[in-house]
Amino acid sequence: MIDWMRLKDDPRILRGAGLIGCAACSCLLTAASFNGLQIPLNTALSAALSPTCGIAVLAGSLFTYTLTGRLTSGPVFLCAIALTALLRWMFGMAHTPRTAAMLAASGTGLSAVIFSMARMIGGKELLYWAAGTVLAGVFAACIRKAAERFESGIPVRLHASDAPAFSVCFVILTAALCSVRVMVLSLGQIFAAFVILTAAKRYRAYGGMICGTLAAFALLITDTKTADFAVILPAAGLTAGCLARHHIGVPFLSVQLFGAAALLLSGGSTAAAQVWVNSMIGGLLFLFLPAGQIADALLLWSDADADLAALTDTRMRFLSDSIAGVRGSAERIADMLAKAESTESPAEQVRAAVCARCSYRETCWEHGDDEAADCFRRLSEAGLKEPAAAPFNCLRPDQVTAEFIRAKKQNAAARALAVRLRNVQTLLFSQMKITEELLSRAGAQSRMTYHRELTRCVTDALGKNQIAVISAAVSETDNRRMLIELYLPAGAEPDSSLVAEILQEALQRPLECCGTETAGEAQRLLLQSTGGFSVTTAAAQCAVHDDEPCGDCWDTFSDRNGTVYLAVSDGMGTGKNAALDARIVLSSFRQLVQSGMDPAAAADMVNAIMLTKSGEERFATLDIAQIDTDTAAVTLYKYGAGPTFVRRGGHITLCQAATDPIGILPKAEPYTTVLHLERGDMVFLLTDGMDDAVFPVIRQKIEQGGDLQELVYTVCARAPRKADGSPADDVTVLAAAITGSAIDS
């Protein structure tokens, strides 16, 4: 199997591909003809790239001139390319658009001067080369500007300041491709139609009109015979953008109708007919190819508020750090107060309150034996309900006994109050820590690429289907997935599958629902483009008593990054009280994770909630499997949870560790491990109702494989039984299977 991801990141492969691409582009530009004229585009390309790439441009140009038999007619161009590459190598100037323009203009101008001095060019040709010098400088600056964006990574994020440079590059590329013909087919004309329709679909009327105008200019500078058809392209793009909210075929038909009108107005000219045929082929490619995904994979338009996003991110992080400082100070003060608490024993308190005023104290404590000390120690260690008796021959037995009882009660109340206070402090500090993390994550989300036109497309599609939307946002996550965030009225209760189906058709991209949340009078629905791997889940349960609910609870959900979570909780005991504890743990954990918290931090918060929710000792286990749908990596978090069976490539791995449940200790410490799975692998989460004796049978059943739901029922049926056939304990089995692969070889 070829590791394409590793090859893609290999610097040697990247350098080789870059050199081949530069040579191919130089061949294309050398062969291009602009109404019978040649423009020093290769000189601009050489100046805009690295010295090594400049050599590749020179080699590609020389190869094309030799292959086409024009070697003797293009020495000035070749000399200009060579001089530009040489100057770039010699001076090694900072590679900016300005220096690229200077290099291209200098190389072209020097070449013209050299051949003019050799009397190989003169007269009107000098004027032509003077204009070529200016054009080479302009084109080099634009190409360098575009190259800088591509060097930052793909997809390229464009800003308003990049529009002129990329417009010039689009015109050059389209015009050069128009020279590549196979019979009547022109790659440039096909490419232009595809881009116009894609821009109209993505950016509506504005995008369609701009790309139509640029494409028209490219056709005109390539061949003026296509003018009859070129003039209709801006109007065709504008109309396609206005109709983009409808079915994908509507903008395609509108462009073809404009093409038919242009053909009629031109009197059926051959050039117009050929352009119409090519535009129809480009439109068909738009219909049958994932045009939107191709566009998003290459270019993303970033709004001009990037600086505002950076400022928001900085502000959020500053607030997070400020809260962290306050929390740290409060925790230190609480620790100091806890250490300063009185640790005086009841015996010492009684001696200070009663014996200190007794006239017989010297006999008991200073000159006597150890009988009084031993008796006081026993009284101090005895429980509140145990009988208390003063030392033998004590002059104040009733006072000693009453004072011991009072001191013990006071100390017990103080200890209970201290424990309660520590629990409240733990909850408070957890809340502050959560606030820090949420602010930090909110700042990071402000840097996400926001798609204004796609957001408008989403609201239009939902409005057309009469689905009320308070607000919406379409953005790109860190893993380059499209995230759709919808805020709906709380009472609307929309069908998430219907919403996903509507938006899939509007955006031409498969979507999955990440879950819904309700807060106040608004409901948030998150949808995201599907990842490289898919996850299917199944669950089965059995309860100890048929007339009571199972004390275990399970849940599956996704966060805003497309990560899938499997969570199981087993409440203390059985029945409805245990089920209530388990449900509190799972619902709180899900809400915190979907709000943007890390799973471990969310579990810490749930632990603090369970510590303070009642005066009774109540706890529940928590078993989490976090599945990354981009890499199929599974992270397990276990808080007093039962075993987890993982099937990887036919081999079974058992993950089990002794940890404390949620709601016992102030700090919940989980057992964590990371497993890397592939397509066909499975994960099974089991509660502690399963006995170790049945593990070999469970291992055998899972190893055999089969339908996931049937496997879950089979494993659950293996739970230990009592003599009457009822389950010995509540049992839950929750499983997931990896059903898709990111890269298939």
Closest alpha carbon to 539 in 527, 529, 525, 553 = 553
| Structure tokens belonging to residue 7 | 């090859």
Q: Per the structure block, which two tokens stand in for 341?
A: 């608490």
Q: What is the tens place of the pLDDT at every residue in 562-580?
A: 788 999 998 887 777 788 8
Chain centroid to Cα 634, Å, comes to 16
Q: What is the reported pLDDT for 4?
A: 44
Residue carrying structure tokens 């100890």:
544
Q: Which of 54-58, 446-450, 534-538, 702-706 has the lowest mean pLDDT?
A: 446-450
Tokens of 651: 């081999």
Distance of alpha carbon 98 from alpha carbon 159, whole angstroms: 19
Name the residue among 668, 623, 661 with its Cα closest to residue 640: 661
What six digits make up the tokens of 72? 């003797």
CA–CA distances in Å: residue 499 to residues 464, 511, 515: 12, 10, 12
Going by C-beta distance under 8 Å and a sequence separation of 6 or more, which residues neighbour residue 387? none
Nearest to 732 by CA among 591, 609, 650, 620: 620
User: Which pLDDT does position 623 carry in this prediction?
Assistant: 92
pLDDT tens digit sequence for 300-343 = 765 444 444 554 555 456 555 655 655 565 556 556 556 555 55
Report domain extents, the chain.
1-153, 158-302, 308-445, 449-529, 535-738
Q: Tell me whether the CATH fold assigned to 449-529 matches the one assigned to 535-738.
A: no
pLDDT over threshold 70, residue 188: yes
pLDDT band at 743; cut points 50, 70, 90: very low
List pLDDT tens digits, range 128-175: 888 888 888 888 889 888 888 887 777 777 777 778 888 888 888 888
* Assigned architecture for domain 535-738: 4-Layer Sandwich (3.60)
Model confidence at 208, pLDDT cuts 50, 70, 90, reads: confident
Return the structure tokens found at 558: 């996704």
Name the band, by pLDDT with cuts 50, 70 and 90, for residue 635: very high
For residues 688-696, average pLDDT = 77
Q: Strand 511-519 to strand 651-655: parallel, antiparallel, or no bridges (unpaired)?
A: unpaired
Q: Hey, what are 139's tokens?
A: 């084109």
CA atoms 688, 691, 694, 699: torsion sign? positive
Mean pLDDT within 468-481: 75
> Residues 492, 276: contact at Cβ < 8 Å?
no
Token pair for residue 190?
A: 């096909």
Q: Which CATH class is domain 449-529?
A: alpha beta
* Nearest-angstrom CA–CA distance, 596 and 90: 53
* Single pTM value for the model: 0.55
pLDDT band at residue 352 under the 50/70/90 scheme: confident
Instruction: Count Cα atoms within 13 angstroms, Cβ side, for 128.
Output: 12
Q: Both tokens of residue 267?
A: 């009197």
Strongest mean pLDDT among 55-64, 322-331, 619-628: 619-628
pLDDT in tens, 364-402: 666 555 666 667 766 666 665 665 566 656 766 767 777
Q: Among residues 72, 84, 287, 66, which one has the least CA distance to residue 197?
A: 287
Residue showing tokens 């480009």: 282
Residue 699 sits at the vertex; the CA angle it makes with 693 and 700, to the nearest 5 degrees, is: 105
The mean per-residue pLDDT over the stretch 29-51 comes to 80
Q: Is 100 helix (H, G, I), strand (E, B) or coil?
A: helix
* 108, pLDDT greater than 80: yes
pLDDT reported for residue 207: 84
At residue 637, the pLDDT reads 93
pLDDT at 492: 67
Instruction: Identify the three-state secondary structure at position 736.
Output: strand
